[in-house]
Amino acid sequence: MSGNIEHVTCHELVETLTDYLEDAVEPAVRVEIERHIVVCRDCSHYVDQMRSTIALLGRLAAEQPAGVQTEQLLGMFREWRAGRSGSS
């Protein structure tokens, strides 16, 4: 979206939501997104869901697979990649 907007559509909100939540949109765009959220119940709900998801994911502890699992996963990836290379 350019900085010269009049109204944000639901589709535009979905496309720019990540940038909005990361505070990476122009101030004029932020204002229009926030106006849209106030009047559109579906988008307001969607934004709330995304914020909750981000908050919950931030609380998860990163788990490393056991050594055997890592080797198995790497082996499967190598086989997959080799199969793709042979089919080109």
Number of domain units in the chain: 1
Residue 47 counted as domain residue: yes
Q: What integer pLDDT is reported at residue 87 of this predicted model? A: 58
Q: What integer pLDDT is reported at residue 2 of this predicted model? A: 45
Q: Over the chain, what is the mean pLDDT?
A: 86
Residue 79 counted as domain residue: no
List, for residues 56-82, the tens digit of each pLDDT value.
Answer: 988 887 777 677 788 888 899 899 988
Token pair listed for 75: 């082996």
CB 39 within 8 A of CB 10: no
Residue 17 counted as domain residue: yes
- In terms of Cα–Cα distance, which of 37, 76, 11, 73 is closest to 84? 76
List, for residues 28-60, the tens digit of each pLDDT value.
Answer: 999 999 999 999 999 999 999 999 999 998 888
Residue 36 counted as domain residue: yes
CA dist., res. 6 & res. 25, Å (int):
15
For residue 13, what pLDDT band results from cuts at 50, 70 and 90?
Answer: very high
For residue 3, what pLDDT band results from cuts at 50, 70 and 90?
Answer: very low
Residue 27 counted as domain residue: yes
H-type alpha helices, the chain: 10-21, 27-39, 41-59, 67-86
Q: Which domain holds residue 11?
A: 1-60
